[in-house]
Amino acid sequence: MMVCLRLISVNVGDNVTLQCLYEDDDDASLIYWYKQPLGKQPKIISTYLKYKKEGTFHDEFLNNTRLTLNMTDNTLYLKISDVKASDSATYYCLKYSYQFKMQFSEGTTVVVKDANSFINAFVQQSDSETIHSGQSVTLKCTASTGSCDGEYSVYWFKNSEDHHPSLIYTQSDNSDQCERKTNKTHTCVYNLSLNNLDQSNAGTYYCAVTVCGRIVFGNGARLNICYLRLDFHSLKMVHILGGALAFTIILILLLAFVLYTLYNKTGRKRNITKTECVYSTVKN
């Protein structure tokens, strides 16, 4: 099974279509759609009988006219019309075969932004920042919730070109990180420290805040990881210094050899002189 994987951002009132792809030889008989809001259990949205081409919605989604199912070319589409803030969640499709095999997709996270929400959240970092390999960086998620003083939950997501969107860290409410201003608004700051960065840390980081029954995603902060590269002049200087070092080492070895040779010759001359003196004494 294949699924179109991505983290997508939409505004309230937009339409969004999720798709679940299957190979031609896929033996799935039933296809399910699930919705999992942050920090909650998955909920079944619908069941689709593949060969009868019949779809059924369940529970709270039963009479939701904003949801529609459509199967074309081995692709099951779930369309959500007139998107609402409550539609923010991760959506999965599941196939069930006649051989009693089940396989989940890896999910698509839908981020719904509401301009009229009383909750504001953003990642305090430049939209795009380049960090050298081995360095560290701290991302700050600032959430302002007006007069709402409910318990916070903060989730950190990472989205990159080489990997699927993933939840990397969860933080619970901490009063030490929150302050109440004179106008009774609440502002909380949550930190995500990333140390000894390498290429695997490159990507866009998002924070999501849930409080007072609402969820809001912050703007993304893009981290680019680069390795220290030498330009042409620096590389040329390295070669020059390397050659100078090699020449110095060779010169030191030659001097050592010359000194060693001179020392040996001087020692032999002294031994000969002493021997001749002894012979001279015996003859007298």
Condensed to tens digits (0 to 9), the pLDDT of residues 194-224 reads 888 888 778 888 887 777 767 777 777 888 8
Q: What pLDDT was estimated at residue 44?
A: 93
Cα gap 86→143, rounded to integer Å: 18
Average pLDDT, the chain: 75
Burial of residue 68 (number of CB atoms within 10 Å: 0-12, 13-18, 19+): middle
Q: Of 111, 193, 188, 109, which is closest to residue 152 (Cα–Cα)?
A: 188
pLDDT band for 89, please (50, 70, 90 cuts): confident
Q: What pLDDT was estimated at residue 127?
A: 61
Cα gap 85→87, rounded to integer Å: 5
Q: How far is CA 51 from CA 26, 79, 94, in A?
A: 12, 20, 16
Q: Is the pTM of this model over 0.75?
A: no
Higher confidence at residue 76 or residue 187?
76
Q: How far is CA 34 from CA 57, 138, 186, 214, in A?
A: 11, 34, 34, 20
Say which CATH topology domain 120-226 has. Immunoglobulin-like (2.60.40)
pLDDT reading at 281 higher than 80 = no
Higher confidence at residue 283 or residue 1?
283
CB distance 113 to 106 below 8 Å: no
Q: What pLDDT was estimated at residue 143?
A: 74
Residues 146-171: tens digit of each pLDDT: 666 667 778 888 877 666 556 677 76
Tokens of 197: 């960065």
> For the chain, what are the domain ranges?
2-113, 120-226, 233-284
2-113 in CATH: which number?
Answer: 2.60.40.10
pLDDT band for 4, please (50, 70, 90 cuts): very low
